[in-house]
A = this chain, B = another copy of it.
Amino acid sequence: MIHPHALVDDLTAIGPDTNVWAFAHVMKGASVGSRCNIGDHAFVESGAIIGNNVTVKNQVLIWEGITIQDDFVGPGVVFTNDSQPRSPRMPQAEARYADRSNWLAATVVEKGCSIGARAVICPGVRLGKYSMIGAGSIVTKDVKPYTLVVGGPASERGYVCSCGQRLSGHYQDADCGVCGERGADRDAE
């Protein structure tokens, strides 16, 4: 379902059963999987890659170089892909922006990761599977799987189950009291 106030530049970029809501914009050259939900005012740039069952909440900004596997992404999350940004039209910056390899740092969000509201993901990081990023965090380095990080810059605060529940110990040891998932069954990769 493409909302009548949404803007999808190329419908072939969107998988089946994916919704795009009002005032969201998916550019030509983006890739969005099936059964996704792209919230109001979200933006998906050419070259961004989004998997299946992904919930991109309102106002999320996703650029070229960002890959999101099967995940939740919270409201107002901003990704980034350039750690030394300058206006590309400044003479001093022309050499830098002549070649993507000079500036574009790719980010990967692995399966099942949740990112809290208004978090900022700095360029070139990997967010491990089923990790959870606290609201308003500023993520400056890789996050391990099943790990909760909070703050600016974000630091480790504990572990979470794939169902979202906080765990009482390391994710490879602690069984989940809510969904019953066993620590021994969680894979570090």
Contacts and interface: CB of A to CB of B under 8 A. Distances in A.
Interface of A: 5, 7, 22-23, 25, 35, 40-41, 43, 53-55, 58-59, 61, 70-72, 74-76, 78, 80, 84-90, 92-93, 95-96, 112, 114, 116-118, 120, 122, 132, 135-136, 138, 151-152, 160-166, 179, 181
A136 B160 CA distance: 25
A87 B54 contact: yes
A53 B138 contact: no
A48 to B, nearest CB: 13
A179 B87 CA distance: 15
A92 B23 CA distance: 31
Given A76-B76, A90-B112, 9 more contacts: A40-B43, A53-B87, A71-B87, A75-B78, A76-B78, A78-B117, A92-B161, A95-B163, A96-B163
Count of chain copies: 3
A165 B84 CA distance: 7
